[in-house]
Amino acid sequence: MPVAKSEGGKNAGHDHLDINSTPRSCLKYSSSKLLQVSETSSTSKASSSATGCSNPTDLNLNSREEEQLESTRAEMGEVREENERLKTLLAAIMEDYKSLQSRIRNVTQQQTDGLLSLGGAGADTGTGADVHVEEEQDHDHLVSLRLGTTSTTKPQTKNSDDNIKEIDNDEMNEGSLRLGLQQTSAGSDPDTPSKRLFRRQNHTTPKRSDDEDEVSRQIHGKKARVSVRARCDTPTMIDGCQWRKYGQKISKGNPCPRAYYRCTVAPACPVRKQVQRCSDDMSILITTYEGTHNHPLPMGATAMASTTAAAATMLMSGSSNPGHPSVEAPIATPNSALLNGLNFNSGLRQYYQPPNPTITLDLTSPTTILSQTAPRYTSTNFNYSPMAMDHLHHPNTPWNGHLGLGTQIYSNMMSNVMIANQIQPPTAPAPTPASTFLQKSSDQKNSYKIAKEITTNPSFHSSIKDAITSFVSNGNSGSGANQQHANQMLLRSSFGHSTTPKPSSSSSSPVDKDRDHIIKN
């Protein structure tokens, strides 16, 4: 039944464009601009004193100008300091990146020495994730190397290529930092991509041998998902992509319907996303991404794509190991604990928990949570990126500039990840918060492995690098839009600008009489 629409039928349009309309105080200017300001102030001051202003008005003006000059100078000093800090941070990041690259090379060497044979022999079901984790565990938590920006990573990305499709190689080699989720893409599938892409992911492909069937299920049935929880007043989160709605259902325990979107940037793009509001807090929007874009992304979409891809990669390489007993654990328990300000969340249960391995980026709390779950098999959640959320909720708060924010994100991420690496993050079967942190060795091992995975995962670094690059490159223009673009990755949703899909009549739509449209939460 058609429902009265509140907006036009065409939601289309790159929703990232609207951010430009959002005014934002940008206290950061380029040094040259500040200098100009400074010079201007000095000039005016000099001129006014030269004219020998003697009346009170002139004196007032004079002192005001002096104040302005002072404040400008102070500002300039801050800017310089910040710039220095940024330089240092950037250098550190680059160093880190280089070390990672060398590390990758080392791992490559190791793998070519024998890991590949191990991968081929092992694994009961033979999924990519299985093999991957096997390798990790047997070799002291090797980093997932299926991603990256350098060609040197390619050999590793080969790992059990049944799952890992490197459809984006060409694009990736063109300087793009596109990451992750290749394993979920069907772009390189020998089968006709355009047909398969829209075939039901979990549905058995018709007319295939049992083996193929199994493989197919492995490929399509265990897609990694990245779920992003963010406060957002708009119907859908702005991620820079173009989406087309293809379905909607109302869940039992959640009055808010779940909307299904498909990427329409490219006709055959397999990426989909589900959007649903949290029943507990309607202001929280839960967006779940699935798949990898098989096309160049719009400028505004790369950040989010990279982030989600990196997270998904982490997930796939970290814990989804259906066959391995050491990481086998029940679904996350609704426990959540704070340790040293880190919100080790294991409370994903309160959200919808899809059957697929899912990683959740929670941008709703001061401490951003990254929760990694592979329901039925493993569940490990740990802190990922505690951003300065105060800034997010107070856009006018001085951020020390966009670059500052970018690097801050990075440093926060990394520092906390490091902490997570030392502290044994909690894992699933924890009846009490206290025991949450005292896990069985297997869980500890898994958690540790995942934490380590994050800290060493090149894709993760690349993702951050992407974001920072975004900041830096935009920073040259010195416009307020700089922040916007970079913030798209992790922050924008918190600001809640949007244009995209029109406010679906969803919530106001008539309740589905069809049981099929009731989704049990």
Partner DNA sequence: CGTCTTTGACCTGCGC
Partner DNA sequence: GCGCAGGTCAAAGACG
Residues found near Zn ion in the complex (CB under 5 A): 263, 265, 269, 271, 293
Q: Which of 22, 37, 116, 198 binds DNA (CB under 7 A)?
A: 198
What are the residues whose beta carbons fall under 8 Å from the beta carbon of 98, sequence distance 6 or more?
A: none
What is the chain's Cα-based Rg? 25
The least distance separating Zn ion from the CB of residue 296, rounded to whole angstroms, comes to 9
Tokens representing 216 are 């197919």
Q: Which residue has the tokens 């191990």?
A: 118
- Token pair 């220095």 in the structure block, residue: 84
382 binds, among Zn ion, DNA, none (CB under 5 to 8 A by kind): none
Question: Of the candidates 54, 140, 200, 280, which one interacts with DNA according to CB under 7 A?
Answer: 200
- Of residues 38 through 57, those in contact with DNA by CB under 7 A are none
Query: Which residues are 258's β-sheet partners?
Result: 249
Pick one of Zn ion, DNA, none as the site partner of residue 202 (Cβ within 5 to 8 A by kind).
DNA
Amino acid (1-letter code) at residue 21? S
- When the beta carbons of 177 and 285 are compared against DNA, the nearer one is 285
Window contacting DNA (CB under 7 A); options: 49-57, 301-309, 460-468, 499-507: 499-507
Q: From Zn ion, DNA, none, which one binds at residue 269 (CB under 5 to 8 Å depending on kind)?
A: Zn ion
How many other β-carbons are positioned within 10 Å of the β-carbon of residue 454? 29
Pairing of strands 272-277, 284-290: antiparallel
Binding string, 204-233, against DNA, x = CB under 7 A?
Answer: x-x----------x---x------------
Report the DSSP pairing between strands 342-346 and 335-339: antiparallel
Is 272 a binder of DNA (CB under 7 A)?
Answer: yes
* Contact characters 322-361, DNA, x per CB under 7 A: ------------------------------x-xxx-----
Strands 284-290 and 243-251: unpaired
Tell me which of DNA, Zn ion, none is bound by residue 514, counting a contact when its beta carbon lies within the kind-specific cut-off of 5 to 8 angstroms. DNA
Q: Does 260 bind DNA (CB under 7 A)?
A: yes
State the binding partner of 339 from Zn ion, DNA, none, CB within 5 to 8 A by kind.
none
Look at residue 263 and give the partner it binds from Zn ion, DNA, none, a contact being a CB closer than 5 to 8 Å depending on partner kind.
Zn ion
Residue type, 80: R
Please, which residue, 355 or 398, has the CB nearer to DNA?
355
Among 315, 285, 438, CA closest to 384: 315
> CA-CA distance, 499 to 403, in Å (whole number)?
26
Q: Does residue 14 touch DNA according to CB under 7 A?
A: no
Nearer Cβ to DNA (50/520)? 520
Q: Which of 9, 23, 325, 431 binds DNA (CB under 7 A)?
A: 9
Stretch that binds DNA, among 99-107, 125-133, 150-158, 241-249 (CB under 7 A): 241-249
* Residue 258 is a binding residue for DNA (CB under 7 A): yes
The answer to the question of residue 245 lying near DNA (CB under 7 A) is yes
Least distance CB 269 / Zn ion (angstroms): 3
Q: What is residue 140's three-state secondary structure?
A: coil
- Contact predicate 342/421, CB 8 Å: no
Q: Which among DNA, Zn ion, none contacts residue 355 (Cβ within 5 to 8 A by kind)?
A: DNA
Tokens coding 303: 């950040």
Distances (CA, A) of 323 to 205, 354, 440: 24, 19, 18
Q: Which of 140, 210, 280, 514 binds DNA (CB under 7 A)?
A: 514
Between β-strands 342-346 and 358-362, what pairing exists: parallel, antiparallel or unpaired? unpaired
Q: Where are the beta strands (DSSP E) in 354-450?
A: 358-362, 369-374, 378-383
List the one residue from 77, 247, 341, 366 that touches DNA (CB under 7 A): 247
Beta bridge partner(s), residue 259? 248, 275
Closer CB to Zn ion, residue 100 or residue 271? 271
Report how far apart, in Å, the C-alpha atoms of 320 and of each of 77, 134, 312 are: 49, 11, 11
Q: Which of 183, 335, 446, 506 binds DNA (CB under 7 A)?
A: 506
Tell me whether strands 369-374 and 257-263 are parallel, antiparallel or unpaired: unpaired
Sign of CA dihedral 190, 191, 193, 199: negative
Q: How far is CA 378 from the centre of its chain?
A: 21
| Single residue of 249, 295, 349, 445 touching DNA by CB under 7 A | 249
Q: How far is the CB of 281 from DNA (least distance, A)?
A: 19
Q: Which of 248, 343, 462, 474 binds DNA (CB under 7 A)?
A: 248
Task: Enumerate residues 6+ apart whose C-beta is below 8 A from 114.
Answer: none
Positions that interact with DNA (CB under 7 A)? 1-5, 7-12, 198-204, 206, 217, 221, 243-249, 251-252, 258-260, 264, 272, 274, 352, 354-356, 501-502, 504-506, 509-510, 512-521
